[in-house]
Structure 1
Amino acid sequence: MKHGVMPMAEAQAQRLDALRIDRSAHSRRRHGRRWLPWGALAVVLALVVATLVVGGAPSVRVAEVREARPGEQQTELSAAGFVASRRRSVIAPQVAGRLVEVAVDEGDAVKEGQVLARLDDRDARVMAARARAEIQAARQRLLAARATATRARNDLARAERLARAQVITRASLEESQALAQASSAEELAASAQLTAARRAAEAAQLQLSHTVVRAPFPGTVVRKLADEGAVLAPAALEQENIGGIVELVDLGALEVEAEVSEEQLPRIEVGQPALIFLDAYPDQAFAGKVRSVRPAIDRSKATADVNVQFDEIPPGALPDMGSRVAFLKEELPPEALTKKDGALRVPASAVVRSEGQSVVWVVRDGRLKRQPVRVAEKVGDEVALAQGPRPGTQVVVSPDNRLRTGRKVKVLTEGG
């Protein structure tokens, strides 16, 4: 009996073990799920750190080291400006009307008195014809009044002879005198009416001539402001360019308007020699002289306009070109205009003091390098370097304390 009972007990125990839940496997799965959120968070943090490391490069503005332009050793001061013309005008009609023809296009050179445009002149022609007819009518009235006055004067002379012969009464004589005076007044009135008619005809003819718009001076059409069909009105003083047809510029009267700070004005005088550098032709220098200093200060900028005329206007110069003017201590010989003195120039804000010496931060391959320089002198908003990076090297303008040697930086382009 004992041997029969034991196999039965073992079978029951095995069945119970099969029904028991394995807690260790469940615990392992639960601990695995618990670590999943922390692992994902670690990955996200790693990505954020990597992004900050990559995008954390500071942005810097740079300027290129350049060679000194001709005459910079003799430069008293320099100023920025732009090319302008002493004769520049928006051409508008003197009378209102509909534009029927524009006879020129942008870029056309025109002579003084050349036709630029025409307005609809039908109304003006009708008024001119009417004025001419009024002249004819006034002339006929004058002829009639003159004939009446002549007859009245003859009648008065006869009446005076008869009165002396006591053939007619005193009353008849006075009547003839009154008629003669009235007819003379009528003649004078008719003559005045003829004069008024002639003046009216002149005015009507002038109005007719204003429908043809002509160039007031020789120049070049730089802008076309209206096309055929536009209804124009004379330009109002408080509304610039209203009713304009074309903009005309005399390219033979070009000069440079430079802005000079008020504290620098005592260093400039009329007739002072200058060099003009156009942004469009940076490697060329053009001789000039100070023509005038405008006697007014721009309160918002604390500057005054100085007009510098070219000795010879360079081919290709156009209004509104950017330029820079170097005001010289003395006039340069012609050969000096093409000669460079070899000195280097950088913006004054690019040179800073670091560890007891003057340095600039050079950008090469997107990374910074500190380079010592030797400053010769300050010229305007630049400094001349006796020793420094070679021309064309990019240096940081107005560097801050974040910059370190070898640090990667992002160079800001123009407008960036």
Structure 2
Amino acid sequence: MSSTSPSPTLPNVKAGSLRDELSSLRIDRSQARRSSPLALLAWGLLLLAILGAIGAAGYVALKDQLFPLPEVAVDSVRVMTLGQLKTELTATGYLESRWQAAVGAKVPGRIAEIPVEEGTEVKAGDVLAELEHADLDAMLESRKVAVALAEAQVAEAKFNAEQSQRDFNREQDVFKRNAGTKAALEKAQTTRDANKTILQAREASVAAAKNAVKEAEEAIRNMFIYAPFDGTVVTKDAEKGESIMPGGMGASSGRGSVITLAKLDELEVDTDVKEDYLGQIRKGQPTEVVVDAVPDHRYRGKLREIIPMGDRTRGIVKVKVAILNPDERLFPELSATVFFLPDQKEGDANQSERKGIFAPVTAIQGEGEEKFAWVLEGDRVRKVSVTTKGDADGGLIEMASPFKGGEMLVTSPPPGLKEGAQVKMAE
């Protein structure tokens, strides 16, 4: 007998009402969203800011074209000596000592001692270095003993020679009295002559031994390196314990020199002058020398030599300019600038060293007590009253006031320039 489960009963739902409910859940896009007033205001302000930025950028870009600034040429006020003002030609070069030498030994050896340092002042004949020479010392002592031995042999030979001379004299006297034989006389004569020869040989041996001593002493003297002239040690090219070889060019062959010596009181500038300007210089011409390491001082100089050999590849001629008043601040290999001056009368040398403040003539406007100049400060100009003295020279004029050097002045200012006007420097 089978049994069945009762079927579940569904609620009675109408199809039409279900479709209506689903339709009510859809989003209605038929109506446009409405923006709030604050959002519209923000968007408007943003748009105005963008337009303002674009306009400002355009104005800046077109400002120079729409309202161009006046262009002005400028030049500086400079501190110069009267000698520099009258410079005919300038050239650059390097300091060198007229007397400079790389000092080495005459013979090879190993350095035992260097008693000097860089900057040491030495006199001619002072010891700069010493090489090891113990073997030569022993040889010298041996040769001195040889001299003593040779001298003793000379004394012996001299005694023998004198004795044989007395023997010969006695035999000769006996022979004259017919008491002796001719054979005895000849034997005494032969002995005498032989002893004289031996004495001469011994004396020659002494001379040879003494010369051998001198040779050893000279060899030892060559172990010392002496200063060839008064000067200053500028470099030490070797140290204690290093080997030295005359003419050596490197570590494999040994050092070639030990000390570089220079006379610092006789310095000169080694410089070049172009062939085109050779006619503007002459031997003995006065100069001023400015050394980069001592920029606040100008040294008096004189063109010492024009080297009679040109360089056709570079088109230059080498010249030597002697410095007349060097001091302890100068030494070789410093860079220097030479100002070639016109010939000076006696007493003008000190006058040419006087410093002054000079401005370009084209920057000075007005006449008499109403002279003025436009000073450029940033991108604006300022009118300044000025006082000059003397006449213009080389496009420059000396200023009595108010400049100190370094100010930038407008040269040949355009008409209508006003106080505080904004300008642009000409390129």
Query: Aligned in 2, Cα 1:334/1:149: closer, same or farther, shift over 3 Å?
Result: same
Q: State the superposition RMSD in angstroms.
A: 3.7
Supply the AA of the counterpart residue of 2:352.
A
Q: What is the distance in 2 between the residues matched to 1:220 and 1:319?
A: 11
How many Å apart are 1:321 and its aligned residue?
1.0
Percent identity (aligned): 29
Partner of 1:142: 154
Give the counterpart of 2:321 among 291, 308, 321: 308
Partner of 1:26: none
Partner of 2:421: none
Deviations 1:212-244 (A, max 9, x none): 333333322222221222122233699999432
How many Å apart are 1:316 and its aligned residue?
0.4
TM-score by length of 2: 0.59
Q: 8 Å contact 2:289–2:298 — kept in the other structure?
A: yes
Supply the AA of the counterpart residue of 2:215.
A
Partner of 2:92: 80
Query: Aligned in 2, Cα 1:65/1:278: closer, same or farther, shift over 3 Å?
Result: farther
Out of 240-249 and 305-314, give the one that drifted further.
Answer: 240-249
Q: 8 Å contact 2:114–2:128 — kept in the other structure?
A: yes
SS in 2 for 1:107: coil
Q: What is the distance in 2 between the residues matched to 1:170 and 1:66?
A: 118
Q: 8 Å contact 2:249–2:255 — kept in the other structure?
A: no
Q: Do structure 1's residue 335 and structure 2's residue 351 form an aligned pair?
A: yes
How many Å apart are 1:386 and its aligned residue?
6.1
Give the counterpart of 1:151 among 163, 167, 171: 163
Q: What is the distance in 2 between the residues matched to 1:253 and 1:171?
A: 82
SS in 2 for 1:139: helix
Partner of 1:317: 330
Q: 8 Å contact 2:82–2:351 — kept in the other structure?
A: no
The 5-angstrom pairing of residues 220-231 of structure 1 reads 220-231=232-243
Supply the AA of the counterpart residue of 1:225.
D
How many Å apart are 1:313 and its aligned residue?
0.8
How many Å apart are 1:139 and its aligned residue?
0.8
Give the counterpart of 2:258 among 236, 245, 270: 245
Supply the AA of the counterpart residue of 2:350.
P
Q: What is the distance in 2 between the residues matched to 1:137 and 1:254?
A: 56
Supply the AA of the counterpart residue of 1:312.
N
Query: Aligned in 2, Cα 1:298/1:178: closer, same or farther, shift over 3 Å?
Result: farther
SS in 1 for 2:322: strand
Q: 8 Å contact 2:245–2:254 — kept in the other structure?
A: no
Q: 8 Å contact 1:273–1:328 — kept in the other structure?
A: yes
Q: What is the distance in 2 between the residues matched to 1:328 and 1:205?
A: 56
Partner of 2:136: 124
Q: 8 Å contact 2:233–2:260 — kept in the other structure?
A: yes
Query: Aligned in 2, Cα 1:76/1:250: closer, same or farther, shift over 3 Å?
Result: same
Q: What is the distance in 2 between the residues matched to 1:304 and 1:241?
A: 36
Supply the AA of the counterpart residue of 2:349.
P
The count of residues paired between Structure 1 and Structure 2 equals 296
Give the counterpart of 2:268 among 244, 255, 280: 255
How many Å apart are 1:83 and its aligned residue?
1.0
TM-score by length of 1: 0.61
Q: 8 Å contact 2:235–2:260 — kept in the other structure?
A: yes
How many Å apart are 1:256 and its aligned residue?
1.9
Q: What is the distance in 1 between the residues matched to 2:98 and 2:116?
A: 22
Q: 8 Å contact 2:104–2:259 — kept in the other structure?
A: yes
Q: What is the distance in 2 between the residues matched to 1:85 and 1:241?
A: 26
How many Å apart are 1:155 and its aligned residue?
2.1
Partner of 1:53: none
Partner of 1:175: 187
Query: Aligned in 2, Cα 1:336/1:241: closer, same or farther, shift over 3 Å?
Result: farther
Give the counterpart of 1:106 among 118, 128, 143: 118
Partner of 1:160: 172
Give the counterpart of 1:217 among 229, 241, 245: 229
Q: What is the distance in 1 between the residues matched to 2:190 and 2:321?
A: 76
Q: Do structure 1's residue 273 and structure 2's residue 289 form an aligned pair?
A: no
SS in 2 for 1:190: helix
